[in-house]
Amino acid sequence: MFIQAITLFPEMFESITCYGVTGRAKQLGLWQFETINPRSFADNKLGYIDDRPFGGGPGMIMMAAPIQAALKQAGTRYKNQQHNSRIIYLSPQGQPLTHRKVIELAQYDNLVLLCGRYEGIDERVLQTDVDEEISVGDFVVSGGELPAMMLMDAVLRLIPGVLGDSLSAEQDSFADGLLDCPHYTRPSEFQGMVVPDVLLSGNHALIAEWRLEQSLRRTLARRPDLLDGRDLLPQEAELLQKILSEREQAA
């Protein structure tokens, strides 16, 4: 996968390109990354790429021309794969980033991530050059770089070889539509708290059932919306009914 970021602060991306599983995967050539600074396309000596908003108001707006020129340059770097690319603007006004969307984005060969600053980007370039807007949550941060790195990390985890164990991504929260179950490691007792006996039993069938039940319990308690409209498998339906019955008895 080839990812490009249109950003005023290219150095910020060193945290994902140089460290952790994503940094190691980049060193192995499993993905490539480049940045393009829109200041390179400023039409003034001082490198300004922002101006006051029409209609008044606080802050500054990133101008259309430098952003459009940066996106055009990104298009020349697709390495003949323009048919399988996506230009994404990280924005609080975008569609929420979900695991389903991450799976979709992982199928692309090229992603161009547009990172805004100030009060945003001139709407005209968003209308003509951007494929979609994506939000990482209902909050506002100072720029699109951190959201872009969150998106990158989520997508890259699904690229074969990035994680040491392919099952890690499959067992993450949301991978099967449920929150993840609790996890434990050595020692078996810590500050008076012990690991559930089933995890020490060696019975893999019972362990799998326990983990599924815990995922259902956690999802029901923390994100019940994830269960709305879900087509439950027979085992899931049985375990969920057990959990609900326990709740009714305890009420």
**172 belongs to the catalytic site:** yes
Our answer to whether residue 10 is catalytic in this structure is: no
196 is catalytic: no
- The one catalytic residue in 38, 66, 157, 217 is 157
Active site residue 119: yes
* 18-169-23 Cα angle (round to 5): 5
Give 107's contacts (C-beta < 8 A, 6+ positions apart): 84
Task: Point out the catalytic residue in the list 92, 153, 209, 211.
Answer: 92
Asked whether the bond before 66 is cis by omega within 30 degrees of 0, the reply is no
Which of 34, 53, 109, 119 is an active site residue?
A: 119
**Which residue out of 172, 176, 180, 209 is catalytically annotated?**
172
Task: Return the active site residues.
Answer: 92, 119, 157, 172
